Amino acid sequence: MDFTEIDSLKSELASLRPLSGAELQRLREEFMVENTCDSNAIEGNTLTLRETALILREGLTIAEKPIREHLEAIGHRDAFEYVLSLADADAPLTGRAIREIHSLVLMNDAKNRGVYRNIPVTVVGAARTPPPPHLVPELMATLTADCGAAPPGRHPIEAVSEFHLRFEGIHPFVDGNGRVGRLIMNLELIKAGLLPVNIKFADRRRYYDCFVDYDENGSMDMLTGLIAGYETYELKKYISILKS
């Protein structure tokens, strides 16, 4: 896949004046609210974008929506802020960091938060069954080690795509795997000097098909293309703001 446009946009963004602290905070907050809404919606949360914003910005309670959905929004926000802190510190991705992200995402599940699963699971629509629980710690250790030893010259979007597909295939947690996986995706994109991306609820079918294609054909191209498209959009948006 050709990443020439993304690399060019990344260079152009780097050449422009930096965003002020207030501007960066506003854009990150807008992204966080939208990303929280979409990422949770992919997993079945019914909060609208406006409801998500009211919960996260105003601390309001939406009367007709369950507390669980409120906690999912708050947990995702807290996990995103933790991801930003890891990216700012350029911290290596470790099993501990992944479990910390999961612990925040699953703040409403005291039993399972931050703990690798100890039971078999199935994924509806998946071509493969996730590995048995006793293999999860070893597989996750291998995955994070591979992430830290990416071959020179490999484009970050390719590396992020492979990690996400392998992570979701391991399915290391009882719940929250999709949300955690997408947060890790953004952590690694930011560390690579790119922008976080938001996989929209409206594109969920295309997103699911990426995993089917990988399971059946071993191809990462669908997910790589999806992430690249979102990255191009985010880079162009930031550049437009800075040029306005």
- Average predicted confidence (pLDDT) for the chain: 94
Q: How many domains does one find in the chain?
A: 1
Asked whether residue 222 carries a pLDDT value surpassing 90, the answer given is yes
Tell whether 244 is covered by a domain. no
Residues 6 or more apart from 37 whose CB is under 8 A from it?
Answer: 45, 47, 48, 49, 52, 73, 201
Residues 95-116: tens digit of each pLDDT = 999 999 999 999 999 999 999 9
Tell whether 15 is covered by a domain. yes
pTM for the full model? 0.96
Alpha-carbon span 13 to 16, nearest angstrom: 5
- For residue 20, the enclosing domain spans 4-239
Tell whether 16 is covered by a domain. yes
CATH number for 160: 1.10.3290.10
Closest of 151, 216, 222, 179 to residue 72, by C-alpha:
179
Residues 125-168: tens digit of each pLDDT = 666 899 999 999 999 999 999 987 777 788 999 999 999 999 99
Convert 206-242 into a string of H (helix), E (strand) and C (coil).
HHHHHHHHHHHHCCCHHHHHHHHHHHHHHHHHHHHHH
Residue in 76, 102, 155, 171 annotated catalytic: 171
Q: What is the pLDDT of residue 153?
A: 82
Tell whether 22 is covered by a domain. yes
Tell whether 223 is covered by a domain. yes
Q: What value does the mean pLDDT take over residues 171-195?
A: 97
Catalytic residue status for 76 = no
Tell whether 78 is covered by a domain. yes
Tell whether 225 is covered by a domain. yes
